[in-house]
Amino acid sequence: MILISRRNVLVAVITGASSGIGLATAKYLAERGFKVYGLSRNEVKNVNFESVVCDITNYDLVKEKFEYIFQKEGKIDVLVNNAGMGIAGAIEHTSAEDIKHIFDLNLLALINSCKCIVPFMRKQGGGKIINMGSVASVIPIPFQSCYSASKSAVDMFSMSFGLEVKDFKIAVTTVFPGDTKTGFTDHRVKNKLLEDEHYSKRINDSISKMEKDERQGMKPESVSKVIFKVIKRKRPPSRVTVGFGYKTIVLLSKILPRKLMLVVVKKLYG
């Protein structure tokens, strides 16, 4: 079913559209009548949206691509900041390069995209920005400390940024997926030093559990459907968690004493 008439096609830009949730969402929105531009490092072929090659960690390049899309379409109604990566392993053995890379991609690139899009959305009288968070932003996952920290920062940034642009009729929402079955699992960066007398068993047990949960997780289209519902809402919420079970986990993280919550997480992943 096509939601939007040809006279009023919504224009959506999605980062990280070459795989996983980003690719699924780009296809899902395009199927429903959106004009979709998917930004990624490599061109995506044989898809129902326009693939735009762009290194989203490069601010000037992102700005250039947004200007190209705005000039071509006359508007950008929706921005979905989806691009991201993960790191697994003990912080003690995580390289400075990997730490910089995950924050550059998961947080700084997202901030730059938000910064670039504001003038266009303000000029057109509003828009919607959806930032990809994670349940790991409220549940601290050991041996994924940088990932949890970067996604927690995304959540706080989104709320603060949302207050700044609300007067321009720009709505900012953070979507919190839980375990999702995508290529993210296989692309997660793992510390070279996993065999270590202090961490070895705990790291391998933790990573094995994470990977098992992800491979048995929800399909990426489940997240795409939630994003679509957020876009349709006149007044989108600032936070949305995907899946009943994960909504319960997020709620419990707020209710349970922090000490008890950390004990439970330690038993599961520590």
Write the pLDDT tens digit of every residue in 100-150: 999 999 999 999 999 999 999 999 999 999 999 999 899 898 989 999 999
CB 39 within 8 A of CB 64: no
Half-sphere exposure in the Cβ direction for 150 (13 Å, CA)? 25
The single residue listed with the structure tokens 């079955």 is 181
The CA distance from 88 to 110, in Å, is: 21
Per DSSP, helices labelled H in the chain are 20-31, 59-73, 96-103, 109-124, 145-165, 184-187, 200-215, 220-232, 244-255, 258-269
The CA distance from 221 to 181, in Å, is: 10
> Is residue 7 predicted with pLDDT exceeding 80?
no
Other Cβ atoms closer than 10 A to 51: 20
pLDDT for the residue 5: 42
Domains of the chain, start order:
6-269 (3.40.50.720)
Q: What is the mean pLDDT of residues 150-162?
A: 97
Other Cβ atoms closer than 10 A to 43: 11
Q: Which of 18-22, 52-56, 213-217, 255-259 has the lowest mean pLDDT?
A: 213-217
68 labelled catalytic: no
At 3, the pLDDT band (50, 70, 90 cuts) reads very low
At 2, the pLDDT band (50, 70, 90 cuts) reads very low
Residue 196: φ, ψ to 5°? -145, 140
The CA distance from 42 to 51, in Å, is: 9
Residue 161: φ, ψ to 5°? -60, -40
28, 37, 147, 246: the catalytic one is 147
pLDDT digits (tens, 9 = 90+) for 73-105: 999 999 999 999 988 888 998 999 999 999 999
pTM of the model as a whole: 0.89
**Choice between 165 and 192, residue whose per-residue pLDDT is larger:** 165
pLDDT for the residue 252: 86
Residue 107: φ, ψ to 5°? -120, -60
CB 72 within 8 A of CB 51: no
